[in-house]
């Protein structure tokens, strides 16, 4: 069972990743340092709570409409529940492009409403609503949502732009959406891969250019072609700190990786070293050690979480047909 705080973020992680990275200006180390400096000099203040009174229609989806007030209420709840969202809405650069942010959130919210129009209003997980609210109550008392010391959930959400009943309805909707997506996943399989890779980054501390990264990747590939040990070269050359000490090993559902990496991992013959593959992170050299279909029914919660997000995205792109009118 997903924990409530993780389920609350179903769809939100890929949503934030899908936002144009220019919103937060963090594509390179240089931009990160500039942002840190700016943030230190700028008073960080959230734009929340947004006004929830407007009945203006700002979007349509397959079968319904979205008003400005309900979207703002949804954003207020996300800002309270998800620390990443809260930080995002404090960023001055994001606030300058609030309309663009709202368009992305509108797509997500419209897709939720579309799913809810199809989902069972009394699906099995909805019976756990009291348990979920109790968990929220305890989290509020333990200052999970703020640095203040609220006595209860009502005090924690006071002035946040939504009521306790709004929050309860939001959690009920999340439970229904979870059950709907879980039902979609029944009987499905996913491709699990075990990949060794070496990353030559284009965002290194040395301010490496694309051409320099490609040249370095070609040099590593040449060494591998000459029979040098993959694990040894990964430790020496890879810019992926999470895998270089493990010989470059990374594994899991193939579709969790960026497209270019995933496409290569799906098709390259087992144990064959790839040519350098360019992604947004730099150049990867891959060697797939294992690739097999596994049942989602027996998968870990983490894999189900990843696949659930993927199903949500497919519904967003193919069924919900959200049309922003901002």
Q: Which of 135, 264, 279, 271 is CA-nearest to residue 200? A: 279
Q: How does DSSP assign 275-312, residue by residue?
A: PPEEETTEEEEEEEEEEEEEEGGGS-HHHHHHHHHHHH
Are residues 179 and 228 located together in one domain of the fold? no
Structural domain includes residue 308: no
pTM over cut 0.85: no
pLDDT of residue 119 exceeding 90: yes
Report the DSSP pairing between strands 277-279 and 189-201: unpaired
Q: How does DSSP assign 206-238, residue by residue?
A: T---HHHHHHHHHHHHHHHHTT--HHHHHHHH-
- Compute the average pLDDT of residues 113-137: 96
Are residues 131 and 13 located together in one domain of the fold? yes
Find the range with the poorest average confidence among 33-37, 126-130, 154-158, 216-220: 33-37
Tell which of 136, 163, 185 closes a domain.
Answer: 185
Structural domain includes residue 317: no
> What pLDDT is attached to residue 17?
35
Structural domain includes residue 264: yes
Structural domain includes residue 98: yes
Are residues 116 and 156 located together in one domain of the fold? yes
Structural domain includes residue 233: yes
> What pLDDT is attached to residue 23?
33
The average confidence (pLDDT) of the chain is 85
- Compute the average pLDDT of residues 239-253: 94
Which residues partner with 278 through β-bridges?
283
CATH of the domain at 276: 3.10.50.40
Are residues 95 and 137 located together in one domain of the fold? yes
Look at the chain and report how many structural domains it folds into. 2
Structural domain includes residue 300: no
Structural domain includes residue 325: no
Are residues 135 and 25 located together in one domain of the fold? yes
Can you tell me the distance from the alpha carbon of 199 to that of 202, in angstroms, rounded to the nearest whole number?
9
Residue with tokens 């949503």: 15
- Compute the average pLDDT of residues 231-246: 96
Are residues 220 and 132 located together in one domain of the fold? no
pLDDT of residue 24 exceeding 90: no
What is the tens place of the pLDDT at every residue in 278-305? 999 999 999 999 999 999 888 888 888 8
Tell which of 130, 163, 185 closes a domain.
Answer: 185
Find the domain containing 209 and state its range. Answer: 190-295
Can you tell me the distance from the alpha carbon of 212 to that of 90, in angstroms, rounded to the nearest whole number?
37
> What pLDDT is attached to residue 204?
63
Are residues 52 and 169 located together in one domain of the fold? yes
Structural domain includes residue 245: yes
Are residues 117 and 208 located together in one domain of the fold? no
Are residues 113 and 219 located together in one domain of the fold? no
| Number of Cβ atoms within 10 Å of the Cβ of 55 | 8
Are residues 31 and 101 located together in one domain of the fold? yes
More confident residue, 206 or 202: 202
Rounded alpha-carbon distances, angstroms, from residue 66 to 102, 154, 174 = 12, 27, 18
């Amino acid at each position: 069972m997903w924990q409530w705080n993780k389920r609350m973020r179903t769809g939100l992680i890929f949503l934030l990743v899908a936002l144009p990275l220019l919103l937060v200006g963090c594509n390179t180390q240089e931009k990160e340092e500039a942002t840190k400096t700016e943030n230190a000099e700028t008073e960080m203040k959230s734009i929340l709570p947004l006004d929830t009174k407007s009945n203006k229609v700002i979007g349509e989806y397959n079968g319904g409409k979205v008003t400005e007030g309900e979207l703002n209420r949804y954003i207020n709840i996300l800002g309270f529940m998800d620390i990443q969202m809260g930080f995002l809405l404090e960023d001055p650069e994001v606030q300058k492009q609030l309309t663009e942010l709202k368009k992305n959130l509108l797509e997500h919210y419209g897709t939720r409403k579309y799913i809810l129009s199809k989902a069972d209003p009394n699906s099995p997980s909805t019976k756990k609503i009291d348990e979920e609210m109790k968990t929220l109550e305890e989290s509020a008392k333990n200052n999970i949502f703020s640095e203040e010391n609220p006595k209860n959930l009502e005090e924690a959400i006071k002035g946040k732009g939504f009521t306790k009943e709004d929050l309860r309805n939001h959690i009920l909707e999340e439970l229904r959406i979870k059950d709907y997506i879980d039902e979609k996943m029944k009987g499905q399989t996913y491709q699990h891969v075990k990949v060794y890779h070496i990353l030559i980054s284009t965002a290194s501390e040395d301010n490496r250019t694309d051409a320099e990264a490609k040249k370095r990747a070609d040099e590593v590939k040449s060494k591998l072609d000459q029979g040098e040990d993959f694990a040894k070269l990964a430790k020496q050359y890879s810019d992926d700190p999470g895998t270089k000490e493990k010989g470059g090993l990374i594994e899991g559902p193939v579709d969790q990786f960026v497209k270019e990496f995933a496409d290569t991992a799906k098709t390259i013959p087992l144990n064959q070293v790839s040519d350098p593959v360019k992604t947004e992170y730099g150049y990867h050299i891959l060697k797939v050690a294992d690739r097999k279909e596994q049942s989602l029914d027996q998968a870990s919660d983490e894999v189900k979480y990843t696949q659930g997000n993927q199903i949500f995205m497919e519904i967003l792109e193919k069924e919900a047909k959200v049309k922003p009118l901002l």
